[in-house]
Structure 1
């Protein structure tokens, strides 16, 4: 099968984040086992979602991991001009949800199987495909503890997020949390008899805005845009009608941290403000909904030099979006970003990838395979 054929099949699996993914896992496993590759399917605690790990070559020799996520964001935008889960070709452009982010990379890795399996590898190439990355990297933490049983400590991980096939050495970390404040309902004419949850939420919102302002002052790292950590309120819901005291209000907060800072700590002033509401009779529910660490790989690390040789381009210092690469680095494994497509096309209607981008990625993976025969 060609890389285009494989991508077409992958796009047809509507593997939306937060939903069961057994169908796409079975589809990928079938391709791998058909090529004689050893596959392990690892269930997550949800019971209906799975990570997949496969090895080409000697598992207990240090090698390289090609990492990608199988889930995609929803495709409910009305601007789609075709079915987002049926790949459509228009000249050199291939349209469909996940073409760039990031089933294109998975398709290129699977298309490279004949070249990778044509002769024995001295160093292995592993494929690590995860679930629910789009929900804050929920699947990868359930894969990483299994690595010591699956393979020797890897020399490096290539995370195939869309980067224009130019390697990237760093990205910010992220933490997200949901806060629900519960008060007491009543008629708006008697505010003395109720507890207004939206008014109470204002304390947490004020703390978030103040923290966001403080973060602009530093610490600073010029490789990032912007060069400081950030915090924002992303959503807020509450109330039923203007003449009813709202008894519940929910808001979601997100922090992004430059390398060296734990993004979870950036949310602490908001959480502390929320907890103080309990002293006024409100019930508070603070739930961390996702977190992953920043990535920072040294410019002259062996993995960065390898990707520069494989791509013919010097790696970029940093990007603004996040990936699973920081999780691998935190686990003690060097990681770098390098994949086909453009992040600007991701999470948008009419997402697409170019045929030449897929072919170039497949060639890069095949070149890595040649290195692993030396």
Structure 2
């Protein structure tokens, strides 16, 4: 059975623009640091719409920071696709456009996090469009973490909890 792709998930560019538009900068300097909750909630909505089971996990030692584990299929093994939801701070003087608005020029997308790493999640949705769910013998697990660009608190929590039991990542 092919995955049902909700209409709102049909455009890669629209999905990427939504994530780029959310400020999720992580930094040890509190004047730059932001919550990643809006990105996590957007991803949760996407993956729930695709039939995944989703768990949003607060990162206790970092107020306003969250991880997401989205799972399609069952079993104790499987494949983990992992990425982070935060970006580094930016220098406005080095940008020719608004870093929180996706733009396209000379065959390239521009916006804070397009390559590292917000673009990863719309790519997953694109790959899922051709996937037949009936062919899953093991679960597909999507992990989205907080604070990779600063403290690694999100990934550390996932590791400490020992929730992911997969054959490969």
Fold in common (TM above 0.5) = yes
* Higher CA-based Rg: 1
Q: Larger relative contact order (C-alpha < 8 A, sep ≥ 6)?
A: 2
Say which SS state the counterpart of residue 39 (structure 2) adopts: helix
In the superposition, the TM-score normalised over structure 2's length comes to 0.83
Superposition deviation, residue 79 in structure 1: 1.9
Measured in 2, the distance between the counterparts of 1:56 and 1:115 equals 15
**What residue is the counterpart of 1:2 in the other structure?**
11
Q: Compute the displacement of 1:120 (Å).
A: 4.5
Cα gap change, 1:155/1:10 in structure 2, threshold over 3 Å: closer, same or farther?
same
Q: Which residue of 2 aligns with 1:100?
A: 115
1:76 to 73, 79, 91: 91
1:155 is the counterpart of 2:167 = yes
Give the equivalent residue in structure 1 for 2:3.
none
Aligned to 2:71: 55
Give me the whole-angstrom Cα distance separating, in 1, the residues matched to 2:63 and 2:94: 34
2:7 aligned residue = none
Q: CA shift at 1:118, angstroms?
A: 4.1
Q: CA deviation at 1:117?
A: 5.5
Please, which runs of 5 or more residues in structure 1 have no aligned partner?
A: 158-374
Which of residues 95, 118, 124 is equivalent to 2:139?
A: 124
Q: 2:158 aligns with which of 143, 148, 151?
A: 143
CA contact (8 A) 2:59 2:153 kept: no
1:88-139 CA-to-partner distances (Å, cap 9, x unmatched) read: 0114200011011111112211332333454341011111110110004221
Q: How many residues are treated as equivalent by the alignment? A: 153
Q: Which structure 2 residue ranges, 5 or more long, are not aligned? A: 1-9, 27-32
Structure 2 CA distance, aligned partners of 1:55 and 1:86?
30
Considering fraction of residues, name the structure with more strand. Answer: 1
TM-score by length of 1: 0.39
Q: How far apart in 1 are the matches of 2:106 and 2:56?
A: 36
Q: For the residues of structure 1 that align with 2:127 and 2:161, how far apart are their CA atoms?
A: 25
- Residue 4 of structure 1: how far off its partner (Å): 2.1
Q: What is the correspondence of 1:334-373 to structure 2 with a 5 Å cutoff? A: none
CA RMSD of aligned residues (A): 1.7
- Between the aligned partners of 1:53 and 1:117, the Cα distance in structure 2 is 21
Given that residues 23 and 34 in structure 2 are in contact (C-alpha distance below 8 angstroms), is that contact kept between their aligned partners in structure 1?
Answer: no
Offset, 1:76: 2.6
**Aligned: 1:44 with 2:53:** no
Any residues of structure 2 matched to 1:141-220 within 5 Å, and which?
A: 141-148=156-163, 151=164, 153-157=165-169
Which secondary structure state, in structure 1, belongs to the residue aligned with residue 141 of structure 2? strand
Instruction: Using the TM superposition, give the Cα deviation of residue 8 of structure 1 relative to its aligned residue in structure 2, in angstroms.
Output: 1.3
Which structure shows the higher helix fraction? 1
Q: Structure 1 CA distance, aligned partners of 2:132 and 2:86? A: 27
1:15 to 7, 20, 24: 24
